């Protein structure tokens, strides 16, 4: 655990910002969210920012911008290549979940863009489905920007607070105590994200057509 934390803190800030920005951008732009949720990278970035090695404000700006731009690219990809993409192997593997996401979008309209920002799978597919359904881009952009701002700042802040808790515990309890608290915080964040993912999948399975 100590080596992992030290390795994270030792990575140059520009590299961290570039990697996090690329992962957040790629969630919807190239459907990277199918395999890696961008919020994990953002939480780690917030943790690193808490050490003072990187500006937390700059991190939040990069995350928000990458989220909004990435979703916009995903929207355009869905608008121009949606039917073709749905026939690819990647989308066929998640056919029921994609169908559930489409019903989610159809049932809630533009606000679904905002709501979907807070669930990993929906973050990956909702922008493309919005483009496929020919939602007006101005409406999409408003809800996309709102979701990107709140999600981005919230995840950065959560990671920053987790890192600050680790540093404070290290100051009070010594390095061993700080590492223990840091481990607990990281595990708690992991369990929280896993539970969210499990609940989202359960809801998707319940919404999927039977047979």
- For the chain, which residues make up each domain, given as ranges? 2-207
Question: What's the pLDDT score for residue 199?
Answer: 59
- Output the pTM of the full model: 0.75
Q: Between 160 and 3, where is the model more confident? A: 160
SS3 134: coil
At 61-74, the pLDDT tens digits run 999 999 999 999 99
More confident residue, 211 or 30: 30
pLDDT (tens digit per residue) in 3-34? 555 666 677 889 989 999 999 999 988 888 77
Q: Which residues of 38-54 are buried (b: 16+ CB within 10 A; e: fewer)?
A: bbbbbbbbbbbbbbeeb
15: its two tokens? 């590299």
pLDDT in tens, 35-52: 787 888 898 888 888 888
C-alpha to C-alpha distances, 16 to 12, 28, 43, 116, nearest whole angstrom: 6, 20, 12, 26
């Amino acid at each position: 655990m100590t080596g992992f934390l030290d390795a994270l803190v030792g990575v140059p800030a520009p590299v961290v910002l570039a990697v996090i920005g690329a992962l957040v951008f790629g969630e919807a732009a190239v459907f990277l969210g199918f395999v890696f949720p961008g919020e994990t990278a953002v939480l780690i970035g917030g943790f690193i920012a808490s050490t003072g090695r990187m500006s937390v404000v700059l991190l939040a700006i990069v995350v928000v911008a990458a989220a909004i731009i990435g979703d916009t690219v995903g929207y355009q990809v869905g608008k121009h290549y949606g039917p073709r993409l749905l026939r690819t192997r990647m989308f066929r593997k998640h056919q029921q979940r994609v169908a559930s996401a489409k019903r989610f979008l159809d049932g809630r309209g533009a606000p679904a863009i905002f709501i979907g920002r807070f669930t990993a799978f929906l973050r990956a597919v909702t922008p493309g489905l919005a483009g496929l359904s020919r939602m007006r881009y101005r409406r999409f952009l408003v809800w996309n920007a709102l979701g990107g701002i709140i999600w981005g700042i919230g995840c950065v802040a959560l990671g920053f607070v987790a890192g600050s808790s680790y540093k404070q515990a290290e100051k009070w309890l010594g390095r061993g105590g700080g590492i223990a608290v840091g481990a607990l915080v990281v595990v708690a964040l992991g369990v929280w994200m896993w539970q969210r993912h499990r609940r989202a999948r359960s809801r998707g399975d319940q919404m999927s057509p039977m047979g």
